[in-house]
Amino acid sequence: MTVTLSDVARRAGVSLATASRVVNGSERIPAAAIADRVRAAAAELGYVANAQAQALARSATRLVGLVVHDIADPYFSTIARGVQRWAGQQGQQVLLASSDHDPAAELDAVTAFMSYRTDAIVLAGSRLRTPDPALNQTLAGYIAGGGRVVSLGATGIPEAQHVDIANETGAFALATELVSLGLQRFAILAGPEQLATAWQRATGFLRALASAGLAPLAVLPGGFTSRGGYDAALECMVRLGGAAARPDQRTQEGPLCLLAANDVMALGAITAMRSLGLSVPRDVQVAGFDDIPTLRDHSPELTTYRLPLEEIGQVAAKLALAADAVGPVHIDGDVLIRESAGRPGH
């Protein structure tokens, strides 16, 4: 038989309202002796408090909503771990939704989190370059009602806090370092054109090449996935011709370097090169962005721009949950030169 709060009140010899204030965590808790009696009765009867009733009593649910584009992507799972770690330290639980890069699904997730009365919502996926008016209007109402919203990277959401990630400056630093190593021939696997993060990284690559007096041989959009990188890399080879990928011994030009907008695209590009019988890094070099944890399992080791992904998640959670936290908070990373795009000829 289900034990109700009324049963607890009768066992403790108090009113239902008094039992509710004790069990559900209201600020108006009665005298210590009465509160102890109610808690003892609840424990004896095996009563489990109703989460919605607790939220109404405390005006807080101790829930955080987190929306990612793809939970299978190590970029998002690592950020989610950071959010979970910080939230857990604050006694909060994290509700997770994966939008699969679908704006409508992201809006549905936000609406669901609002129905659960989450204290905050973190949007870990890249914003669209053109703001989504339906999402912005929904979040504006949530913020006006006391909810906190945090987005990663470019925000486009009025009144939201955000974590500013070094997407463009990181891409600029990575491409500049590769040019300094002697590479001269580049193609850019730019990711989805509508995503702000992909656009910022492609912009950084292009700016670095222009600063060195170079122009990319090709700029190819594609999905922000391993398959997207695979398809874009194959298309690049079709455009350039297979021989154009290899180092030209007559002109002393080094190998082509594929600059991918994220690591999973870069790994897809490496697979594509192997399917064409090309060797990485001998024939074609590849660089990514993010330094996802699973890179340690891949060979050759991937050159990339390292972002502190778990730290990003923790910073986002702190902005969401600490009432005195104010953004934006800027996060930088580091260039990591590894075997996949190391010093040409080595």
Give 117-173 pLDDT, tens digit per residue.
899 999 998 888 888 888 888 888 888 888 899 999 766 787 888 899 999 999 999
Average pLDDT in the 272-290 region?
Answer: 93
Question: Comparing 2-16, 193-207, 305-319, which segment has the lowest mean pLDDT?
Answer: 2-16
The correct CATH number of 167-306 out of 1.20.140.10, 3.40.50.2300, 3.30.70.420, 1.10.3720.10 is 3.40.50.2300
Q: Is the pLDDT of residue 1 over 80?
A: no
Question: According to the model, what pLDDT value does residue 146 have?
Answer: 84
Which of 15-19, 55-59, 175-179 has the highest mean predicted lDDT (pLDDT)? 175-179
Q: How far apart are CA 261 and CA 189, in angstroms?
A: 6
In the 8-state DSSP scheme, what is residue 15? -
pLDDT band, very low/low/confident/very high, at 249 (cuts 50, 70, 90): very low
What does the pLDDT look like over 176-210, one tens digit per residue? 999 999 899 999 999 999 999 999 999 999 999 99
What's the pTM? 0.79
Question: According to the model, what pLDDT value does residue 20 have?
Answer: 76
| CA–centroid distance for 239 within its chain | 32
For residues 286-308, one letter each, b for 16 or more C-beta atoms within 10 angstroms of the residue's C-beta and e for the rest, the string is bbbbbbbeebeeeebbbbbbbbb
Q: How far apart are CA 218 and CA 190, in angstroms?
A: 10
| Bridge-based pairing state of the strands 218-221 and 256-260 | unpaired
Average pLDDT in the 29-34 region?
Answer: 80
Q: What is the DSSP string of 29-85?
A: ---HHHHHHHHHHHHHHT----HHHHHHHHT---EEEEEES-TTSHHHHHHHHHHHH
The amino acid at residue 326 is V
Q: Is the pLDDT of residue 3 over 80?
A: no
Residue scoring higher pLDDT (341 or 154): 341
CB distance 107 to 135 below 8 Å: yes
Question: According to the model, what pLDDT value does residue 206 have?
Answer: 98
Q: Which CATH class is domain 60-165?
A: alpha beta
Beta bridge partners of 248: 253
Question: According to the model, what pLDDT value does residue 27 have?
Answer: 58
Beta bridge partners of 100: none
3-state secondary structure of 330: strand
Q: How far apart are CA 151 and CA 127, in angstroms?
A: 8
Residue 295 exposure: Cα atoms within 13 Å on the Cβ side: 27
Q: Is the pLDDT of residue 228 over 60?
A: yes
Question: According to the model, what pLDDT value does residue 327 have?
Answer: 72
Percent of the chain with pLDDT over 90: 55
Q: How far apart are CA 101 and CA 106, in angstroms?
A: 8
Per-domain residue ranges of the chain = 5-49, 60-165, 167-306
Average pLDDT in the 289-296 region?
Answer: 91
What does the pLDDT look like over 88-120, one tens digit per residue? 998 899 999 999 888 899 999 999 998 888 999
pLDDT band, very low/low/confident/very high, at 297 (cuts 50, 70, 90): confident
pLDDT band, very low/low/confident/very high, at 346 (cuts 50, 70, 90): very low
Q: How far apart are CA 103 and CA 106, in angstroms?
A: 5
